[in-house]
Amino acid sequence: MERVEHTAKIVTARQLGLVACQRCQQVWPQEVDRCTRCGHRLVGRDRKSLQRVWAFWVIGLMCYVPANLYPMLQTRTFFYTQRDTIIGGAIELVHYGSYAVAAIILFASVAIPIGKFLAIAFLAVSVQRPSSVSKGQRQMLFEVVEYIGRWSMIDIFVVAILSSLVQLNVVVAIYPGPASLFFALSVIFTMLSAQAFDSRMIWDADDA
């Protein structure tokens, strides 16, 4: 199947005086302020979108700092109690020789969160000033951030499984540390930050 023969000039809903429901895609004239099909509020362009993006972004970043400083796991055995931070735990794994697991943990809890902060900040800045990165690429970046954001929760789930499973009386027991709460909050707030971003703003420069 061919995509399309003629490169048609794209018209946006805003230029036609229309607004599409962001939840159910029903198309309404701009004067309407609530979609009667699904009850969602209609906004042509969300003016407060960027403010919310930045607010959630800052909270997410603030939670990410203690998430790395406090211990994520406490392992108690006969002889010692060991407290591991996220990065400490990964280094521990490298010492044991499980490089693959260490790589997964470093990727999921260090590379992805930091990459996500950078990507959201870049997108939010790029809609306000001219950017050298093409719109299609920025759109793709946004979709990647939205998709991958949820996967950072993997670390929380690992802690949950470990600390419920490894409760072998006196032999060895694992407990969750305070970092798990901060890490979960950080993931949740960056997800909210990405959801607050109105991707239609990426394309608005076309219409000016």
Instruction: Kindly identify the residues of this chain, within the stretch 32-61, that bind another protein according to CB under 8 A.
Output: 32, 36-40
Alpha helix ranges (H) inside 37-134: 49-69, 86-96, 99-106, 112-126
In whole angstroms, the minimum distance from the beta carbon of 53 to another protein comes to 16
Q: How many CB atoms lie within 10 A of CB 145?
A: 23
* Burial call 87-106: b when 16+ CB within 10 Å, e when fewer: eebbeebeeeeeeeebebbb
Single residue of 55, 59, 87, 181 touching another protein by CB under 8 A: 181
In whole angstroms, the minimum distance from the beta carbon of 58 to another protein comes to 21
> Is residue 99 involved in binding another protein (CB under 8 A)?
no
Single residue of 61, 122, 139, 141 touching another protein by CB under 8 A: 139
> Is residue 95 involved in binding another protein (CB under 8 A)?
no
As a whole number of angstroms, the distance between CA 49 and CA 180 comes to: 29
> Is residue 104 involved in binding another protein (CB under 8 A)?
yes
Single residue of 79, 130, 165, 208 touching another protein by CB under 8 A: 165
Contact 186, 63 (CB under 8 A): yes
